[in-house]
Amino acid sequence: MGSLAATLLLAMISLTVALDNGLLKTPPMGWMAWERFRCSIDCKDDPKNCIGEDLFRDMADRLAEDGWKELGYEYVIIDDCWMSMLRDEEGRLQPEPSRFPGGIPKLARYIHDRGLKLGIYADMGTRTCMGFPGTTLDKIEIDAQTFASWGVDYLKFDGCNSNPVQQMLGYPLMSKALNATGRPIAYSCSWPVYVGGLPTNVNYSFMGDICHLWRNYYDIQDSWDSLLSIIEWFSNNQDDLQPAAGPGRWNDPDMLIIGNFGLSVDQARTQMALWAIMAAPLIMSNDLRNLDNSARAILQNKVAIGINQDPMGIQGRRLLQEKSHIEVYWRPLSHSASALVFLSRRTDMPYRYRNSLAKLNYDTGNYKAYDVFTGSTVKVLNATTEFTISINPSGVVMWYVYTEQQSKQMETLHYQQKKVSQFTLHKAKPGHHTVL
């Protein structure tokens, strides 16, 4: 399709589509199956890891009972491989009955009864990425109506086995179809990643009109290398990506892998810190039934979550790349506060990094800094005063920076964070991993 025709098509569709149902004014939080459980469908021999209704009930129970829901983790999201290989006689998608014997509506009621929300997966193509029935253009309306009738609250719409023209038509049409159901459904689009993730192939202003969030880049894997490649891509392209984000419209660097097998404690803190800076969705993909205390403390860190959920919704940026392989990230927050993350890309030993707030573009004055992961408050900093911090290899130091006038508010936050830490240690079950 020529560029003029594509522009005219988008203009025509945009006249009929506007996804403004008031959802996701802050980034969504919850749990998703894919990265940890993939397409495990052997419920007979591996029932604990099988993509079936028991897995999602278990995760809903953990979110509701272990302090997650109160912190904002509210979505339980089914990914690929939930479907039967055949649509029903009326052309509707249906779950595989041996793995979802109660059907999706019953699972939705179970999740809703616990004060949580249900997410589901579909694919804008002939088949899903794992070969299950896709949603072709002629099936978009019936699939949207089906999801709404089941009580679905969130749709992840993938793009395997489709071409750019089908994607250009299908993603806006699904937005329109979801709106037409009358049910408020959060809409996650994978469109950008299938066309390179960047302008001019992606019109992010238009994306924000039709989707609540979108996948920009490749799937995350359970490794430091994968995590680092995502951080680097988003940082290298922040001038194109950062302006696209805001309340109701979010860049999505993919799931939180904290609590699995591939990250150290320091690397897990790095993901939580950078996802907070990037105003990214906090969608965990791990086994909440077997989560160790370190992972739980990171994922339930009240101040990191508060930074991520800041109502201004401004995505942060990388400010500096030092020759010492230290990088500095910054995000403006409500009430004239801000967040700073100092990331070590080093692999040798803890590094003593020196800088000042003035050199990081802070105005003249006195500030305090709350260390998000140690819970300590840095002494009063004059903007021009040089500070020194020690950053572990592949780790971070994360600060919530505020003025002296905000000290009382931070004392309250500090107290609440201590209470959360005590709660999680009390509720935590011993994990079977030696790393996060």
- Contact at 8 Å (CB) between 30 and 75? yes
Place of tokens 């023209």: 165
Q: How far is CA 33 from CA 43, 57, 80, 227, in A?
A: 15, 12, 9, 18
Could you give the CA distance from residue 286 to residue 56 in angstroms, rounded to a whole number? 12
Angle at alpha carbon of residue 332, lines to 359 and 404, rounded to 5°: 75
Could you give the CA distance from residue 36 to residue 161 in angstroms, rounded to a whole number? 23
Backbone angles phi, psi at 229, to 5 degrees: -65, -35
Q: How far is CA 153 from CA 21, 108, 210, 287, 288, in A?
A: 12, 9, 16, 22, 21
Q: How far is CA 271 from CA 171, 338, 346, in A?
A: 29, 18, 16
Please identify every residue annotated as catalytic. Answer: 158, 219
Q: Could you tell me where the beta strands, DSSP code E, fall in 324-393?
A: 326-332, 338-344, 351-356, 366-371, 377-382, 386-391
Place of tokens 């930074």: 307
